[in-house]
Structure 1
Amino acid sequence: MLPNRKEVDRVRSTSGMDSPVQIVRAPVDGLDHAVRNASAHLLSMQYPEGYWWGELESNPTMEAEFLLLTRFLGIDDEETWRKLTNHLLEQQRPDGTWGQFYGAPGDLSTSTECYFALKLAGVSPERESMKKAREFILSKGGVPETRVFTKIWLSLFGQYEWRGVPSMPAEFMLLPNWFPITIYDFSSWARATVVPLLVILDRKPVKSVPDSAAIDELYPLPRDRTDYSIKRPARLIGWETFFYAGDIVLRHLERSPWKPARSQAIAKAERWILAHQEADGSWGGIQPPWVYSLMALEVLGYPLDHPVMQKGVQGFTSFSIEDNDRLRVQACVSPLWDTCLTMIALLDGDVDPSHPALLRASDWLSGQQILTGGDWQVKAKGVSPGGWAFEFHNDLYPDLDDTSEIVMALDRVAVPDDDKQRRAIERAVRWLLGMQSHNGGWAAFDKDNTNVLMAKIPFSDFGETIDPPSVDVTAHILEMLGQLGYTAEHPAVSAGLEYIRSEQEPDGPWFGRWGVNYVYGAGAVLPALRALGEDMEADYVRMAVDWLRDHQNDDGGWGESCVSYVDPDYKGRGPSTASQTAWALLALLAAGEVDDSSTRSGVEYLLRTQLADGAWDEPYFTGTGFPGYGVGQKTADGGDAEAYRSHELPAGFMINYHMYRYCWPLMALGRYKRLIAGEPWPADRERNDTSDDAWVGHAKRPANRLHRFLKIW
């Protein structure tokens, strides 16, 4: 249950940190106009249905792989390929490369996929830009040095040998839940990708391409002299070596004609794929499982006019953007995330809680709550649904981060039917409490999805294979609980705070799993602590504040490069951006630093860089899909693989959320404006002790078998 709303809605008026702002400060010139202008800009962007939705920009492999998909399915057409080609060529850098994010060094695998797609589309290899791309690819070792998923794409068209791809038998589908590794030990996104790949790796299809599209020139040696063996791990002892040896054994077994369980495994994978298609035709709401599922079904004999195939192909239209004779393909869409952040920004910007735009958005979000089950129930047994997704359609994988932000938005809107909204919030809170992992944190999609063995198999050389708890998601959920009146006395909150404190960096900030990077982590944690009524003068809080001050740029803003995920020299360093400056300001304001010169300089940076229409420009990528560690979190030793050291982030996936440049700055400016006027922080309310009855699903796991025995005894 939730705390009594009548009791928690009273604004605190006590002294001290419970109400750190007691006086009215002189406003910064232009602040009122900037807030009004930014609010008006956001209001103008709302869709008639009530949501906000901006582009989710990633990297050009999306367009390259979509082009290859159309070839694989036999649905390629000249006009689509022409527009995709235009975009790929427009994204190519002057040195001939393609990268993972804005300003990134050229990436071998990304450049290889783009080169092959362009050549298949008819772009001449003698074109100067193609020559430069070829020189770069060869300088990095060529096709043999690309990542596994690039090799899979090339193998599908005969441009690499299937024997050079790590083995993963389809019988993986049949492993019981008690086995050390199962498909449900993969993260939700990896699971939805691996299942169709089991079919593809079993059948090893090869679609023909014209000789003119072959990429033999990207091999350092002739293909018949190329070594296709799987790389031996650097460490002689470890799980990587164990799985490497297992891969060798599996390859020998694959040659045997006797595979008694293979047909059963393929049939189970097929049923799983069919059961996991979403209403919009996607799988998992993201590009990788979507394309692999369509190809797996095609391999299994599904014709293009089959309803599942039709829906899957047509669904890509909602992920595609045509602009100036170019076609871009989004890896994902983010309407629910964009909508809740926009609502919070508008509320911070003094838009009336009963404004028609907010009521429309609230009504739309309420109708999107997911009240059916999904894969998350495998490890969260007995927990009732109540979350929201990130995308328009992803009912099987509701998102904990989205759910917490949506609750914070809905909680502040003055809707006519307050009881209906309260019931929706109660369902969401029960679900979130039930999804808390045993270490006290919360992950993005699953509970206790922490089996690091999944990242050790040879197949896993890209992205994140598991979904462990992260500080930023945990902080957002704690901030939500604080806004609703929960305190540190509640067991779930206490465990979450303990987790956050344990994850703090020695120099003060927190690692950012879903945003770049330590600035994002600090920007999530300090507002959560403030919302819970924590002591903002505590030493660990002041360490974070000092770190933010020390990493402010000379122009008054804050910025952090994606390279900070692999190079500690870039920690908190990079060109100033609107969103990262806003995160730093939100943290400083939460810590009570309203009058601090760093805060004022940050505000002035946002005012100075705001565009005439109320928006901000932000080419830099500040969102994170995958840091590229494999284990979904920062490792203690920083990792020993090349992916941990290369500035191109070859195993990462970075995002530029186009709505971030509008929402976050308005939040920061709006809260600053509120605080200098003597108004309260959004979550400053009378705290009430909340009953343990509200706490669902979290119990400390007994440390060992003896403890379990003693507990039972």
Structure 2
Amino acid sequence: MKSRISAGINQLIEKLKKDQSPTGSWDYPFETGISTDCYMIILLRTLEIHDENLIIQLTERIISKQEKNGAWKLYYDEGEGNITATIEAYYALLYSGYYSKKDPLIKKARQYIVANGGLDSAHLLAKLMLAMTGQLKWPARFPLPLELILLPPTFPINFYSFSVFGRANMAPIMILANRKYQIRLENSPDLSDLYTRKMDYNRDSFHFNNTEDWRSLCATIEKGIKSLMGMPSYIHKLATEQTKQYMLARIEPDGTFLGYFSSTFLMIFALLSLGYSKKDPIIIRAVKGLKSMQCEINGLIHIQYTNASVWNTSLISYALQEAGVSPKHQMADRANNYLISQQHYKYGDWIIHNPSSSPGGWGFANNNTLHPDVDDTTASLRAITRNVLSTPAYRQSWERGVLWTLSMQNNDGGWPAFERNTNSNLVGILPIDKADFLLTDPSSADLTGRTLEFLCSYTNLSKNHKAIKEGMNWLLHNQERDGSWYGRWGICYIYGTWAAVTGLRSAAVRENHHSIKAASNWLCSIQNPDGGWGESCKSDSKQVYVPLKSSTLTHTAWAVDALIAVSNKPTKAINAGINFLLNQLHQKDWTTDYPEGQGMAGDFYIHYHSYRFIFPLLAFAHYQNKYLTH
């Protein structure tokens, strides 16, 4: 076992060494299915930007992902297909001009769409895209009025009740919905053949669930808006201008709106609705920024939703050092210098709910200068830990990062991703599908567990420090009955359990504590006969663990790492998991590309191409350091 683990570690280190970029970062793809590829085609055609080479390349990738039944999926075991992804692909391929409704592949896609509810079955964001491009009618009334942005933060529900990700998408949507903006060119496809029998262009297909609670909340919002001084026309004009300025003030140096594809796509249409020319410099820069997000996967071009350069680099640098690579080694030194250059010095929206703190966090992507997150911050701090005592520049970054992390703890004791205390129960009343994913940023087991692990393992804070005690209590009170924890940003219960267990163990929660024992027993109970672990993306929608029925490298590495944190000696389950990792390290099949992350249950999944290297390396290193060095 010892020699095999040593060989596995060396192989992974060599692979990572080969893949490091000249800047010191690792730029493995952040893959999110085909939606961004589809929307890029639709955007370019709408703006009459004839980048035929890119459009052709994107259609090639989209077609390569089509199933035999004509549908597209978000993940391998989703079922027959995903109706929204199939609608998006159908629309984009037709709009590209390189496919027609007579093509056999398009006919099969249409058959699937019609058989599964037509355009009426698309999710909200897709329907909004269809409305703004003239394929659906805007709803008579959108749940969030534009004037909401004028309500003060002290109002029960206001624009800043939402997460920064929610605001980034809702700001342009509020403008578009208010103006009911549509742009449809002569060469735009006609999707009326995808209407159901009960559906036509004039029918409201958005299906907002106007419950009694929502009507009451809506009345409260309207009362707040009416209390604003001024004539209605003036208030409306002011709200429009303020929403526009919210977007423009958050354009990143690369031209994108907060670095996200969806928010930038929506901003471009919102600006068009406000009278901006298709050739306005802001729009041209935004498109250029979106184009810069392209990467190559298996010889095909993919438009990333964002890039994961900072996240990849922080995790890889830390894993390498855990595996014995010196922080002074050229590979780690270049990585950590890159990370130092990516630390934030600007105030972002996080200051609204955290007014007494100063900048010091890290963001997810290298085009992100305005919205750091707790996960990337603790990951980057772990990576530079070993440089802190010897290099003053690292010490300064370290102190700023630690203070920012501590300041971001929620009132409930857990940690969010982007902003403190943006988990209002009132948001749950909004009649918007997946509002809890789109608009809130609650404490989560994965964020809280990893933050605890960092604070307890890499700082001198006492285990009795108030922040640590409150974080521990949050985790202990939010464990599932079966012993697992739900991870909001990964797939799903294995991910959350790994983070929670390693966090609690770092906080000196003993291995025989009932919470740790329950988690360990749960992990062992779901181990596969081949020694690995695997979890389906269905877990996030069903809100209960769903086995994948096949093992993946990443899920296995998370589970093994959690069990190593619990046991003082290697167990049968740990050794079986390590053997699975060693045996499958270089195998490639459908599990290799299975999503490891989520953004919106049932609609948005992420395949991190870096994870198959990072987490097995971390599991090997922790096994070696704990069991083989004595």
Scaled by the length of structure 2, the TM-score of the pair is 0.93
Partner residue in 1 for 2:572: 597
8 Å Cα contact 1:91/1:98 also seen in 2: yes
CA distance in 2 between counterparts of 1:111 and 1:263 reads: 38
Structure 1 357/442 Cα, relative in aligned 2: closer, same or farther at 3 Å? Answer: same
8 Å Cα contact 1:478/1:528 also seen in 2: yes
CA distance in 2 between counterparts of 1:509 and 1:203 reads: 46
Structure 1 165/357 Cα, relative in aligned 2: closer, same or farther at 3 Å? Answer: farther
CA distance in 1 between counterparts of 2:317 and 2:249 reads: 34
SS of residue in 2 equivalent to 1:382: coil
Displacement of 1:326 in angstroms is 3.8
8 Å Cα contact 2:516/2:566 also seen in 1: yes
Partner residue in 2 for 1:489: 464
8 Å Cα contact 1:616/1:662 also seen in 2: no
8 Å Cα contact 1:452/1:466 also seen in 2: no
8 Å Cα contact 2:258/2:370 also seen in 1: yes
Structure 1 243/81 Cα, relative in aligned 2: closer, same or farther at 3 Å? Answer: farther
8 Å Cα contact 1:55/1:658 also seen in 2: yes
Displacement of 1:54 in angstroms is 0.8
1:394 is the counterpart of 2:368 = yes
After TM superposition, the structure 1 = structure 2 runs for residues 106-121 of structure 1, keeping only pairs within 5 Å, are 106-121=81-96
User: Higher Cα Rg: structure 1 or 2?
Assistant: 1
Decide which of 608, 611, 621 is 1:660's aligned counterpart: 611
Partner residue in 2 for 1:385: 359
After TM superposition, the structure 1 = structure 2 runs for residues 137-536 of structure 1, keeping only pairs within 5 Å, are 137-163=113-139, 166-210=142-186, 213-221=189-197, 224=200, 227-228=203-204, 231=207, 233=209, 237=212, 239-240=213-214, 242=216, 259-322=233-296, 326-413=300-387, 416-417=390-391, 419-461=392-434, 463-483=437-457, 484-536=459-511
CA distance in 2 between counterparts of 1:28 and 1:125 reads: 59
1:61 is the counterpart of 2:12 = no
SS of residue in 2 equivalent to 1:559: strand
8 Å Cα contact 2:387/2:394 also seen in 1: no
1:670 is the counterpart of 2:612 = no
Partner residue in 2 for 1:578: 553
Displacement of 1:166 in angstroms is 2.9
**Higher deviation after alignment, 239-248 or 180-189:** 239-248
Partner residue in 2 for 1:48: 22
SS of residue in 2 equivalent to 1:624: strand
Q: Give the AA of the match of 1:184.
A: Y
CA distance in 2 between counterparts of 1:606 and 1:213 reads: 48
Displacement of 1:490 in angstroms is 0.2
CA distance in 2 between counterparts of 1:74 and 1:171 reads: 32
SS of residue in 1 equivalent to 2:615: helix
CA distance in 2 between counterparts of 1:315 and 1:467 reads: 26
SS of residue in 1 equivalent to 2:301: strand
CA distance in 2 between counterparts of 1:154 and 1:309 reads: 20
After TM superposition, the structure 1 = structure 2 runs for residues 543-558 of structure 1, keeping only pairs within 5 Å, are 543-558=518-533
CA distance in 2 between counterparts of 1:488 and 1:249 reads: 48
CA distance in 2 between counterparts of 1:228 and 1:147 reads: 14
Structure 1 492/56 Cα, relative in aligned 2: closer, same or farther at 3 Å? Answer: same
Partner residue in 1 for 2:539: 564
Displacement of 1:295 in angstroms is 1.8
Displacement of 1:561 in angstroms is 0.6
1:103 is the counterpart of 2:54 = no
Structure 1 343/324 Cα, relative in aligned 2: closer, same or farther at 3 Å? Answer: closer
Displacement of 1:233 in angstroms is 3.4
Deviation sequence 1:260-319 (CA, Å, 0-9, x none): 311111111121111110112111221111111122222223335544223212112321
Deviation sequence 1:229-259 (CA, Å, 0-9, x none): 653639x64x245468899999xxxxxx963
SS of residue in 1 equivalent to 2:533: coil
SS of residue in 2 equivalent to 1:282: coil
SS of residue in 2 equivalent to 1:370: coil
More helix by share: 2
Q: Give the AA of the match of 2:21.
A: Y
Deviation sequence 1:596-617 (CA, Å, 0-9, x none): 000000000011012289x997
SS of residue in 2 equivalent to 1:566: helix
CA distance in 2 between counterparts of 1:141 and 1:242 reads: 32
Deviation sequence 1:340-394 (CA, Å, 0-9, x none): 1101111122212321111111111112111221100111111111100101122
Deviation sequence 1:464-508 (CA, Å, 0-9, x none): 211011111011111111122323210000000000000111111
8 Å Cα contact 1:589/1:599 also seen in 2: yes
SS of residue in 2 equivalent to 1:316: helix
Matched positions, count: 620
Displacement of 1:128 in angstroms is 2.3
8 Å Cα contact 1:588/1:599 also seen in 2: yes
8 Å Cα contact 2:434/2:600 also seen in 1: no
SS of residue in 2 equivalent to 1:213: coil
8 Å Cα contact 1:56/1:330 also seen in 2: yes
Displacement of 1:157 in angstroms is 2.2
Q: Give the AA of the match of 2:411.
A: H
Deviation sequence 1:114-150 (CA, Å, 0-9, x none): 1111112231212222222212212222112322222
**Higher deviation after alignment, 349-358 or 164-173:** 164-173
Deviation sequence 1:60-105 (CA, Å, 0-9, x none): 1111111111122222433222222111111111111112234323
Structure 2: runs of 5+ lacking an equivalent: 225-230
Displacement of 1:415 in angstroms is 7.7
Q: Give the AA of the match of 1:584.
A: A
Scaled by the length of structure 1, the TM-score of the pair is 0.82
Report sequence identity in percent. 31
Structure 1: runs of 5+ lacking an equivalent: 1-26, 251-256, 628-648, 680-713
8 Å Cα contact 1:67/1:76 also seen in 2: no
CA distance in 2 between counterparts of 1:514 and 1:223 reads: 36
Partner residue in 2 for 1:619: 593
CA distance in 1 between counterparts of 2:544 and 2:486 reads: 14
Displacement of 1:438 in angstroms is 0.4
